[in-house]
Structure 1
Amino acid sequence: MKPTNASSLLELARIAGVSVSTVSRSLSGSSMIAKATRERIEALAREHGYQINRAARNLRLGRTGAIGVVLPLGHETEQHLSDPFFMSLIGPLADALSDRGYDLLLSRVIPTDGQWLDRIVDGGRVDGVLLIGQSDQIDVIERVAARYAPLVVWGAVVEGYAQLTVGSDNVAGGRIAADHLLSQGRRHLAFFGNPDVPEFSARHAGFRAALAQAGLGEGLLLPAHLTTQASYDAIRGFLGEHPPVDGIVAASDVIAMSALRALGDAGVRVPDDVAVIGYDDVMVAAQTSPPLTTIRQDVTRGAALMVDLLFERLAGEEAASVCMTPELVRRASA
């Protein structure tokens, strides 16, 4: 394709029968030009092989053309981008940003001080930031969100915090999972997941509320890690050190899949001896043995909502957090 330098803009203007400034503004997406005119000139540009210099346009408009997608891992420094939940969310985010003509700048951050997010938003490399998870960094996020509007978080709504979030009703999800096990006659339940993470804390709260209503106390808690081997090792230790349980609610599908493996290696049958429920409904959840019952979060819709809210903020508009309703997906593990 030919670049749209001064001479090529002149030639395209001649073909379109308009001024050079009209061509330039049309290819820059200026609202000063009528939509029909913009679309006609863009079509002519494609037909004749002209391409706008996006870097120059972004420099002129004072923007980068990129959105940062950031994974803060203060609580799980060994977690990687290959985590199934991360992958299930990053793909739809990339598609939604691409549809708006933006690039995605992906960062995995191990926070070493309280300024890591300041460096990202002040670094001049992105026009806005999408955070995947709050980790144990919710106070850092809240402080930066108070001064930097184009910041949207996949995470939990936490009382007393005003950051803009998209996520599911985690309390309801934890309760739905526990209620499902209780309805099967399970009475000795455990929750696997680190309650220091806001989303997991809310899921654990829902789990405890269901047990309390059934008069069964709070159940057992294992603050399992999110990484596969670490959670497997912790679960094997838990099984050997605690009284037998007949139902497990895991804070994530990754933890639930580690539980399935640990239970199998310990000679415990699922679901005959112990029923297991995960959370997220990642793509591989249906492929485990037995297939994993889980609490589904609609991450595709969530990704679209995150991008919508971000661009509302970029346009100077008001935006409110969104809490989606979770759904029990019944499979063979529970």
Structure 2
Amino acid sequence: MKAASASTLAELAEIAGVSVATVSRSLAGNPVIAEATRTRIVALARDHGFQVNQAARNLRLKRTGAIGVVLPLGHEAGQNLSDPFFMSLLGPLADAIADRKHDLLLSRVIPTDDLWLDRIVDAGRVDGVVIIGQSDQVEVIERVARRYRPMIVWGAELPGKAQVTVGSDNFAGGRLAAEHLLAQGRKRLGFFGNVEVPEFAARFAGFQQALAAAGQSEGTLLPMHLTSESSYSAIEEYLVGHPSPDGIVAASDVIAMSALRALAERGRRVPQDVGVVGYDDVLIATHTTPPLTTIRQNVGLGAKIMIDLLFRRMKGAEVESVTMAPELILRSSA
């Protein structure tokens, strides 16, 4: 004979002969309840077709079951979610969030005022927030970080700031890239990227240190946007009026790939005439012509660290920023 159904906690509690609180705690896996009791109540719930109203439970516990992943594009309004770096990080983040049995709520934000992040954290739609990139929004992020704890930022660790960050050692990465080109005997190095972005500024500072240590001049700085077409146009325009560097450190792989294209169209051979080093090691870096030498950020590990730190903060724990060592990946472009 089929067991009678139970549609409420009270009905299931009556069947089990325990209190409603005991049923609720048992179904939530609360270790306060003896394991044997929890196992029995879970089995009874299954046998009687009882399902927890997750929305109601989350409302009682002031939880949403969702994590916000936010991409602020203050300096790069034309950048899309299909950007290779975003795609390489979003996959591992989604997996790590799903492993914690939460949903991912994705927001691509073009800031129009200084309250965009306040609106996200105060809307009550997420239990915590991951921000991918500081863009030119460091002060907005910092202000919110001082009052809203369950937030982790992918970006540069900034001394004296409250925001908890995860990212690579950008200074060391920029230095590694320049040192590699200098070791090949290249003497006219250029850094391509927007140094108003904290991560890129640190990469440029490392680049400059390597040149100074080698007794070289400061090198060429060519600021540009991150999208493939805008960076290509900036590089092409530069090459029309200037001799090309014999070594290029690009602030990202997308910029490096734009450089490969522009150099080829100007008849400059890579790596014979110009060595090119990117940053990120996105998936398509192995498929460029020639394959791209680059500085790898371990985004898979970084995503796991970010979500671990976030969930620890959601439980009230104190956590610190994590900076991962970069790695030079040698391919044919330099």
TM-score > 0.5, shorter chain as reference: yes
Report the TM-score range of the alignment, normalised by the length of the smaller protein: over 0.9
SS of the residue aligned with 2:107? strand
1:1-334 residue pairs with structure 2 within 5 A? 5-6=7-8, 10=12, 14=16, 21-34=21-34, 38=38, 42=42, 50-334=50-334
Provide the rounded CA distance (Å) in 1 between the counterparts of 2:85 and 2:40.
42
In the comparison of the two structures, how many residue pairs are matched? Answer: 331
SS of the residue aligned with 1:243? coil
* TM-score, normalised via structure 1 length: 0.93
Conservation of the 8 A alpha-carbon contact between 2:7 and 2:51: no
Provide the rounded CA distance (Å) in 2 between the counterparts of 1:51 and 1:204.
55
Structure 2 portions without partners, runs of 5+: none
- Paired amino acid for 1:287: H
Conservation of the 8 A alpha-carbon contact between 2:188 and 2:219: yes
Task: Indicate how the Cα distance of structure 1 residues 71 and 43 shifts in structure 2: closer, same or farther if over 3 A, else same.
Answer: farther
Deviations 1:161-215 (A, max 9, x none): 2210000100000000000000111111100110000000000000010011111
- Paired amino acid for 1:10: L
Conservation of the 8 A alpha-carbon contact between 1:13 and 1:23: no
Q: CA deviation at 1:243?
A: 2.3
Conservation of the 8 A alpha-carbon contact between 1:26 and 1:33: yes
Provide the rounded CA distance (Å) in 2 between the counterparts of 1:216 and 1:31.
64
Deviations 1:197-254 (A, max 9, x none): 0000000000010011111121001112110100010010111122221110000111
Task: Indicate how the Cα distance of structure 1 residues 294 and 4 shifts in structure 2: closer, same or farther if over 3 A, else same.
Answer: farther
Structure 1 portions without partners, runs of 5+: none
Task: Indicate how the Cα distance of structure 1 residues 158 and 9 shifts in structure 2: closer, same or farther if over 3 A, else same.
Answer: same
SS of the residue aligned with 1:106? strand
Conservation of the 8 A alpha-carbon contact between 2:191 and 2:204: yes
Task: Indicate how the Cα distance of structure 1 residues 123 and 223 shifts in structure 2: closer, same or farther if over 3 A, else same.
Answer: same
The answer to which of 84-93 and 5-14 deviates more is 5-14
Conservation of the 8 A alpha-carbon contact between 1:9 and 1:24: no
Task: Indicate how the Cα distance of structure 1 residues 39 and 67 shifts in structure 2: closer, same or farther if over 3 A, else same.
Answer: farther
- Paired amino acid for 1:208: Q
Question: What is the RMSD computed on CA atoms of the aligned residues?
Answer: 2.3
Conservation of the 8 A alpha-carbon contact between 1:69 and 1:132: yes
Provide the rounded CA distance (Å) in 2 between the counterparts of 1:327 and 1:12.
61
* TM-score, normalised via structure 2 length: 0.93
Conservation of the 8 A alpha-carbon contact between 2:165 and 2:322: yes
Provide the rounded CA distance (Å) in 2 between the counterparts of 1:165 and 1:138.
12
- Paired amino acid for 1:242: H
Conservation of the 8 A alpha-carbon contact between 1:28 and 1:57: no
Deviations 1:230-283 (A, max 9, x none): 001001011112222111000011111111111111111111111111001111
Provide the rounded CA distance (Å) in 2 between the counterparts of 1:257 and 1:143.
36
Provide the rounded CA distance (Å) in 2 between the counterparts of 1:36 and 1:209.
63
Task: Indicate how the Cα distance of structure 1 residues 43 and 298 shifts in structure 2: closer, same or farther if over 3 A, else same.
Answer: farther
Identity over aligned pairs, percent: 68
